[in-house]
Structure 1
Amino acid sequence: MIAIAILAAGRGTRMKSDLPKVLHELGGRTLVERVLQSCQEIEISRRLVIVGYRSELVKESLIEAQEKTKDREFPPLEFVEQTEQLGTGHAIQQLLPHLEGFQGDLLVLNGDVPLLRAETIKQLMAVHKQHQNSATILTANLPDPQGYGRVFTDSQNLVQQIIEDRDCTQAQKQNHRINAGIYCFHWPDLEKILPDLKADNDQKEYYLTDTVSSLSPVMAVDVEDYQEILGINDRKHLATTSDILQTRIKDKWLRAGVTLIDPHSITIDDTVELQADVVIEPQTHLRGKTSIASRSRIGPGSLIENSQIGENVTVLYSVISDSIVAENSRIGPYAHLRGHAQIGANCRVGNFVELKNAQIGDRTNIAHLSYLGDATLGEKVNIGAGTITANYDGKNKHKTQIGSGTKIGSNSVLVAPITLGENVTVAAGSVVTEEVPNDCLVIARSRQVVKPGWKLKEPEK
């Protein structure tokens, strides 16, 4: 049996934020979500999150994230309060009443170390079980280990001593093997000595590393890529880890047959799914639960968030959020699709068109300078330039329905709620306020009046 405990109680004062540090986002997920995600390939019996600063906010965020994902087969999250932040040892002491009688292993993770790979955790757990260790700790050799606790081992990787950076002598600081803050304990062994931890250090904190001297055997496992264990303490660290994550994501998609033109100007969340032969142009950003099918070309200068893009779609200088675009459609330049817009196959949504909560049938064209909100359009509809659905009466939103084959002349206003039938033609410049049956011509404008020989009178001097 394996229980995991995530340390997520701190504020993170160096982030200069009222938001708990573990709730800052990286690549579309909060830091603590990423830590939970890294455990999804091991069999877990308990999941405990140690919370403190703004604990209700952390709980709400994690519960909401859990409901949106597919990890419901995992045990439910358990939240443990740490009202005072007196060090890592003090945090784990809070588990004593919650894990009473537990006979398995405890994996301890930090909520601000978001780049840890699932493979690394599996390797740590495998070594722990193979050698039947009382404790196994993750270590790394850093080029610059300043600020990290140093780990001293023998030739068999058995840990002899762990010393915090601030407590190291100058000679000890020459050791570049650092403690990553990731541990696996045999809980019954740890449970016996936890109550005896003392705060005999400069910070007057209870260090979890102090348990090492009372446990045996304790083994170190080096992580292959030290970047995995980089922690986040400030905004600079957050930016650094973002760069590392983006490199991972882009390398993955380049190997999978996706073309990234100027990768340095592109950002992609690791929640995004891409198929082979997708082309991503410069200055394009893909976020959230977005998927893009084969042979689509996105960008340059586009933002797509929580949307599904079909095959062979082009999106140029446009913003698409919470929407669906079917195959062979063209979007942009400078289009904005939002609020659950759905675009059919072989459509054109062109220059400076905004669609909000609009369902557009196949082979429909909305070429330029239009706003359609809360509208349903059939197939082969043509929307002339400057067409607007007046969907808001100052209090409520109303629906517009337009049948297949209908043509809306330029500079027309459709005042909702309204229904236009199939094969309707609306004359340019019309303001349509009443229902229109099939196969009609609608002219809803004042008759043009021409007065020959008339001119504006000159003002008197």
Structure 2
Amino acid sequence: MDKCVIILAAGQGTRIKSKFPKVTHKVCGKEMINHVIDTMKKANLNNIDVVIGKGAELVKECTASRNVEYSMQPEQLGTGHAVKCAKDFLQGKKGVVAIFAGDAPLITVETVQKLIDTHINECNVATILSSLVEDPTGYGRIVRKNGEVEKIVEQKDCNAEEKLINEVNSAIYCFDIENLLVALGKIGNNNAQGEYYLTDVIGIFESEGKKVGAFVTDFEETVGINSRVQLADAEKILRSRINKHHMTNGVTIINPENTYIGADVQIGPDTIIYPGCILEGTTTIGEDCIIYENCRINNSVIGDKTSVESSVIIDSEVGTGTSVGPFAYIRPESKVGDNVKIGDFVEVKKSTIGNGTKVAHLTYIGDASVGENCNFGCGTVVVNYDGKKKHKTIIGNNSFIGCNTNLVSPVEVKDNTYIAAGSTITKEVPENSLAIARAKQINIENWVLRKK
């Protein structure tokens, strides 16, 4: 049996007031469309077709790593028309197709699986994902007879009795593929909007006496995002879910309302997250870490027992038992070893820092390879740029770099070396050497008195 998914993502979303397609806007650091795709894959639904239209190239660009297919909807003529545009994707398949909205990122893996299971176990031709709400105004009502779905009635068509029904249609469905393809050929656009509605397929099945079911889930999961206000509401809901997940797994989050963790972040147990932190992308944080206040960590790996305080780490690796910050900046393609000290106002860019090295404060290390157990004095600068090209600096193990040193790349400092404070190093420093590269001090007595 085929199990596949169609995700509707062709609309521009005029109410969100953006030049970008609505489904590319992010919730907790990930595009809405990618939230839906990733949820499908976690539910073991890997055969996915995304219906695109407005801003098609941008949608393709942001989903390029997801290994999905695409169908084009050149004109937005309703949900039924969108599924018609995916007929080539469905042709030759036998089994189940689930249809989801690309702007409904709060759907959970459990609900997706239960919807599919309900559809198969009840032998339905169509299964509607429905919700129970206190105020159903504006939503299509699910009318049941003897427990089975009889029809969907839109708000404008409800009689007095039907208006009291609080089970509503989420516009998420599961269909038998062969029956769906036949029914799509029968729906028309004889309505005020001139559009093809997927709900008309449900009406066709009802008229033919085919079994239509419904699975009830939390309304929160089915909400589509149509405005910036709703985008913020979805962010709050998903952030709460993410934070609860981590706390359940043994992470201490001191103030969940003021902690921002992306959907794909992993955190080990007994780690403590202080307020104001932003953890993004595919970041992985180990066990027994302390992430102090106001840190931003993006697409990075932090080892066990490491602390980070008021610092930024991007696309980099930090080892075990290391201390970073406060106010450090670890820029992309950096690899910081174990038991390292990266102190206040230290910037590391595209460099490796060996185990046990200390870079305590006010230092820049760029395009460099630093060995183990080195010590950098305050104010050290790796001068890696000559105005046209970046050059590499190599520093061996057990080197001591005095305060206010300039290392002019390309240059190599061998193992077990000392560099005197205030030096500007332009040539190789041999192993076991002391390098002094500064002007001789001259004191001119009474110079100030003569100047006056």
Normalized against structure 2, the TM-score is what?
0.95
Corresponding residue for 2:135? 144
Within 5 Å, give how 1:33-432 maps onto structure 2. 33-44=34-45, 46-63=47-64, 65-66=65-66, 76-156=67-147, 158-168=148-158, 172-215=162-205, 216-223=210-217, 225-432=218-425
Corresponding residue for 1:69? none
Distance 2:118 2:280 in 1: 37
- Residue 426 (structure 2) pairs with residue 433 (structure 1): yes
Asked if structure 2 preserves the Cα contact closer than 8 Å seen for 1:7 and 1:49, the reply is yes
- Once the two structures are superposed, residues 112-162 of structure 1 have per-residue CA deviations (whole angstroms, 9 ceiling, x without a partner) of 111111111111111111121110010001233343322211231x22221
Distance 1:172 1:203 in 2: 24
Asked if structure 2 preserves the Cα contact closer than 8 Å seen for 1:162 and 1:210, the reply is no
The letter for the 2-side match of 1:50 is V
Corresponding residue for 2:16? 15
Asked if structure 2 preserves the Cα contact closer than 8 Å seen for 1:41 and 1:122, the reply is no
Distance 1:356 1:165 in 2: 59
State the Cα distance separating 1:293 from its structure 2 match: 1.1
Distance 1:98 1:283 in 2: 45
State the Cα distance separating 1:102 from its structure 2 match: 2.6
Asked if structure 2 preserves the Cα contact closer than 8 Å seen for 1:139 and 1:177, the reply is yes
Of residues 161-170 and 103-112 in structure 1, the stretch that sits farther from structure 2 once superposed is 161-170
- Once the two structures are superposed, residues 328-370 of structure 1 have per-residue CA deviations (whole angstroms, 9 ceiling, x without a partner) of 1111110010112111111111010000011111111100001
Distance 2:71 2:158 in 1: 32
The letter for the 2-side match of 1:401 is I
Asked if structure 1 preserves the Cα contact closer than 8 Å seen for 2:413 and 2:430, the reply is yes
State the Cα distance separating 1:43 from its structure 2 match: 4.9
Asked if structure 2 preserves the Cα contact closer than 8 Å seen for 1:354 and 1:372, the reply is yes
Distance 2:33 2:74 in 1: 19
Distance 1:199 1:350 in 2: 66
State the Cα distance separating 1:201 from its structure 2 match: 3.3
Asked if structure 2 preserves the Cα contact closer than 8 Å seen for 1:15 and 1:233, the reply is yes
Asked if structure 2 preserves the Cα contact closer than 8 Å seen for 1:140 and 1:180, the reply is yes
Distance 2:96 2:446 in 1: 98
Superposition RMSD on alpha carbons, in Å? Answer: 1.6
Distance 1:50 1:40 in 2: 17
Distance change >3 Å, CA 42–CA 256, structure 1 → 2 = closer
Asked if structure 1 preserves the Cα contact closer than 8 Å seen for 2:131 and 2:167, the reply is yes
Of residues 173-182 and 145-154 in structure 1, the stretch that sits farther from structure 2 once superposed is 145-154
State the Cα distance separating 1:458 from its structure 2 match: 6.0
Asked if structure 2 preserves the Cα contact closer than 8 Å seen for 1:367 and 1:385, the reply is yes
Asked if structure 2 preserves the Cα contact closer than 8 Å seen for 1:2 and 1:43, the reply is no
Distance 2:156 2:414 in 1: 77
Q: Which runs of 5+ in 2 are unaligned?
A: none
- Once the two structures are superposed, residues 174-220 of structure 1 have per-residue CA deviations (whole angstroms, 9 ceiling, x without a partner) of 32211111111112112122122122333332110111121121111
> How many residue pairs were aligned?
447
The letter for the 1-side match of 2:193 is Q
Within 5 Å, give how 1:22-37 maps onto structure 2. 22-37=23-38
